[in-house]
Amino acid sequence: MDAAVEWFHGLVLFFGAFGLGWRLTPAVGRWAARRGKVAVPREDRWHRIPTPLLGGVAIAATFYAATGVGLLLGWFGNMSTAALHLAPLLVCGAAMFLLGLWDDFRNLSPQTKLVAQIVLASVLVFFGYKIDWFVSKTANTFLSILWIVGMTNAFNLLDNMDGLSAGVAAIAGFFLLAFEVLHGGGMSLDPHIGLLPIFLGAVLGFLCHNRHPASIFMGDCGSLFLGFLLAGISTQNELSRHGHLVPIVMAPLFVFSLPVADMALVSVMRTMFCRSVACGGRDHTSHRLVAIGLDEKRAVRVLYGFSVLGGAVALLSAVDMGLFYASAALFVLLTVVFLVRLAQVRVYPPGEKSLLEKKPALTVLWVQFTYKKRVFEVMLDVFLIAFCYWLAYYLRYERWSDPEAFPLFLGSLPVILICCLASYVACGIYRGVWRYTTLSDLSIHVLAVSAGVCVSLTVLVFAYDFKGFSRTVFAIFWLLSLLSLSGSRLSFRLLSEFLNRLVKKKGRPTLIYGANRNGAYVLQELLENADLGLVPVGFIDADERTVCRRMFGYKVLGTLRHVPKLVRRYGVQEIVVASRDISQEIAETLETTCREMGVVLRRAEFRLSPCTEADPCEQEAVQAVQKDASIDEAVPHLAQKSTDFPHVQKPSETDL
């Protein structure tokens, strides 16, 4: 069949499914409300108003109706042949939908659902829906069942916030289709690929009514159906059997990165807190983002972006393997940092303790293993050093075009690892605290990487006379190592700042007078100290040359003469003076302007107060140090005293 005709058929099926799903979903919602199938707000759920369930009925009905039309018109190739190929997936998918529908009406036990899912997955695998990751057929069979059941439950767990599960399913379906297009596969060659436009249309039609604020939920009949269908189609896609072993295993995981990551985080954290993995709760990635301070819409958009990024990395395996490996390493690092950051968010009741807190022996072992020994940091650096060295060779020799390059790489890799790790230890890389890493630590990173490369070169010269080695490789390796070392150490700080920027802070809009170092200190305090109730909107400064410049992402909005306009435009309620020395003329102008505009005026004072017995906060900090606690425990108490803001004053009592 001609490619243009295939695209035309795919577009017709997509828009047909989208239109039918968009019109059918409200009707299903009204029917569900009449039947009393309404999700009532509960403490462990997210929605705040009663919302109809059974949106999965509209998705499934749309999907099967459009698929039937495509089969009757012969748009999947020969009708009988296509129907025979699709029958196992369509029949088992319908059975999974009925299982979810039964659960929506009868509330099945987790064990019953799991057994039924394993049976349906086994039937699907029996008819050839397998992932060909390894040589062993037995291993592939078991992994195929695990993959289908895992993805089915992953999308079920992901259905915890408006539009999240449906949106991620649409993103995964899009990248499955895009991967097939890049490989030149046609819908007539495999009818399973022809199902993806229908799947996308049905899901997006439903998503129009499921995005925040949702007017209908898909229920288990929808989430189980979506996960099962996507898992089945992915086993027939080129994504599951393309290229070398690493992309074969990693590419599908990247396409389904968010469901996998969410399921892993929930499973680990609930196990740590002795909670049932099968029970619902507000401890998913989306809920943790909201606990940080993001609103529901922004939390879902962040997770959409995470899914798109994972799918884009998977697509690179069809374009360039070297680029795929580099992007995959960065994505894995980002995923780990992201999950570790979210795992630190407290979402369980304050009195509920984890296994580490309940078992003192485990706590001691964990602290010794992670913090004293720095095992995780060393393991990460081993991976990053090896990867950067491999990538340097890959870039220098243009995809290993020189047959002698790879043996040189393998032979010298142990030397590189030993020399670089020894240099990192000698330069004090493992004495830093990641979340307090700043650009001022870059000099130490440069020294450590440079020392590692120089020592490596020296050893290779004496051991191998540097025969066959390329100086260009080590120049590239130096740059890549510096980027990886600094990037990994700055990752927590950058991620936290990124999430903080997305948070809609509640408080009084505030201008900061002084686009200088003191202004930066004040900005940091306003951003990190929510108790002040002040939300920075930008800077003002006496110097005209600083206008329109940015400090830490916040713009210098104007000078003193712009204050009235800025107050009206941004609803400014307070102005904080960060500059230490200002002229009497400027002080009078600010005071007069603030009094006329009804704006509170403050001065930021920076001071170090002595520890006294009358200050319990400072006593606690001193005790923490005396108990040989880490500096991370002591510093926050002192930091709260480093900047002093007077209490809110009336406009008539402004004081400079």
Annotated binding site for Mg(2+): 156, 220
Question: Is residue 152 located within the same domain as residue 178?
Answer: yes
pLDDT of residue 653: 35
Please say if the pLDDT value at position 205 is more than 90: yes
Question: Is residue 175 located within the same domain as residue 48?
Answer: yes
In a domain, 620, yes or no: yes
pLDDT of residue 178: 85
Q: Are strands 534-540 and 508-513 parallel, antiparallel or unpaired?
A: parallel
Question: Is residue 42 located within the same domain as residue 70?
Answer: yes
- For 52-67, letters b (16+ CB in 10 Å) and e give bbbbbbbbbbbbbbbb
Question: Is residue 92 located within the same domain as residue 179?
Answer: yes
The per-residue pLDDT for range 476-503, each reduced to its tens digit, is 999 999 999 988 888 777 777 777 776 7
Please say if the pLDDT value at position 617 is more than 60: no
Question: Is residue 105 located within the same domain as residue 135?
Answer: yes
Question: Is residue 81 located within the same domain as residue 209?
Answer: yes
pLDDT of residue 274: 75
The neighbouring-strand residues paired with 574 are 510, 600
Residue with tokens 């499955």: 176
Count of domains in the chain? 3
State the chain's mean pLDDT as an integer. Answer: 80
The pTM of the full predicted model, rounded to 2 decimals, is 0.76
| Listed residues 183, 218, 246: the one ending a domain | 246
| Listed residues 182, 215, 246: the one ending a domain | 246
| Percent of the chain residues past pLDDT 90, beyond the cut | 25
In a domain, 109, yes or no: yes
In a domain, 284, yes or no: no
In a domain, 63, yes or no: yes
| Listed residues 212, 246, 280: the one ending a domain | 246
pLDDT of residue 148: 93
Q: How far is CA 171 from CA 126, 157, 168, 204, 340, in A?
A: 28, 17, 5, 10, 24
Question: Is residue 517 located within the same domain as residue 490?
Answer: no
Question: Is residue 554 located within the same domain as residue 424?
Answer: no
The H or E element spanning position 534 is strand 534-540
| Range with lowest mean pLDDT among 95-99, 191-195, 354-358, 585-589 | 354-358
pLDDT of residue 304: 93
The separation between CA 165 and the C-alpha centre of its own chain, rounded to angstroms, equals 15
Question: Is residue 447 located within the same domain as residue 585?
Answer: no
The per-residue pLDDT for range 170-194, each reduced to its tens digit, is 999 998 888 877 765 555 457 888 8
Question: Is residue 87 located within the same domain as residue 135?
Answer: yes
Of the pLDDT bands very low, low, confident and very high (cuts 50, 70, 90), residue 66 is very high
In a domain, 143, yes or no: yes
pLDDT of residue 414: 92
Amino acid present at 322? G
Domain span including residue 524: 506-653
Of the pLDDT bands very low, low, confident and very high (cuts 50, 70, 90), residue 466 is confident
Question: Is residue 547 located within the same domain as residue 608?
Answer: yes
Annotated binding site: 156, 220
Q: Are strands 534-540 and 554-558 parallel, antiparallel or unpaired?
A: parallel
The per-residue pLDDT for range 305-345, each reduced to its tens digit, is 999 998 888 888 777 777 788 888 888 888 888 888 888 78
Q: Which of 332, 351, 352, 335 is nearest to 343 (CA)?
A: 335
* CATH number assigned to the domain comprising residue 636: 3.40.50.720
Mean pLDDT calculated for residue range 258-279: 81
- For 87-99, letters b (16+ CB in 10 Å) and e give ebbbebbebbbeb
pLDDT of residue 240: 57
Q: How far is CA 196 from CA 116, 133, 200, 506, in A?
A: 25, 23, 6, 43
In a domain, 254, yes or no: no
Please say if the pLDDT value at position 652 is more than 70: no
Q: Which parts of 463-528 are beta strand (E)?
A: 508-513
In a domain, 360, yes or no: no
Mean pLDDT calculated for residue range 371-378: 69
More confident residue, 149 or 241: 149
Please say if the pLDDT value at position 457 is more than 50: yes
Question: Is residue 118 located within the same domain as residue 166?
Answer: yes
| Percent of the chain residues past pLDDT 70, beyond the cut | 82
More confident residue, 181 or 385: 385
The per-residue pLDDT for range 212-239, each reduced to its tens digit, is 888 899 989 999 999 999 999 888 865 5
The per-residue pLDDT for range 407-442, each reduced to its tens digit, is 888 889 999 999 999 999 998 888 777 767 776 788
In a domain, 62, yes or no: yes
The per-residue pLDDT for range 48-63, each reduced to its tens digit, is 778 888 899 999 999 9
Please say if the pLDDT value at position 23 is more than 90: yes
| Range with lowest mean pLDDT among 336-350, 376-390, 450-464 | 336-350
More confident residue, 325 or 645: 325
Q: Which of 387, 97, 342 is nearest to 229 (CA)?
A: 97
